[in-house]
Amino acid sequence: MSKTVAEVRTLKPNRYMIIDGEPCKIVNITTSKPGKHGEAKARIEAFGIFDGQKRSIVHPVKHKVQVPLIDKRSAQVIAVMGSEVQLMDMETYDTFNLPIPEELEGELEPGKEIQYLEALGRRKITRT
């Protein structure tokens, strides 16, 4: 579990944070003014990296949230097996299987290089 902690005020769109245990990409952040006795609040809208679900959350701007460490890596396609593909990491030479995303079906073939991201022990193919 590779993650760090950051204050809500330091977050920006197109960065990442963890909502309900799921790494999410931030789409929009809106902040409200502080009240007479309260503090400013931020409403964060984000999409899950792995499940694509939209999530929104409201926190005070001084609140600390968890931020995943996203590792973007490259791999080579070894074999295509139905709806899965076997990959070999280009740095560590580890081999692993991942499901083929719908938008990349038919594009993957042995010997082709792809990019994938790894967060919280999970992996996903991003592009060829």
3-52 pLDDT, tens per residue?
A: 899 999 999 999 999 999 899 999 999 999 888 888 899 999 999 999 88
What mean pLDDT do residues 67-95 have?
Answer: 91
Average pLDDT over residues 54-59: 94
- Rounded Cα distance between 105 and 34, Å, is 49
> Cα(72)–Cα(91) distance, rounded to whole angstroms?
12
Given a contact cutoff of 8 angstroms between Cβ atoms, the answer to whether 69 and 55 are in contact is no
Q: What is the mean pLDDT of residues 56-66?
A: 93
pLDDT value of position 102: 83
Mean pLDDT computed over every residue of the chain: 90
| Global model pTM greater than 0.75 | yes
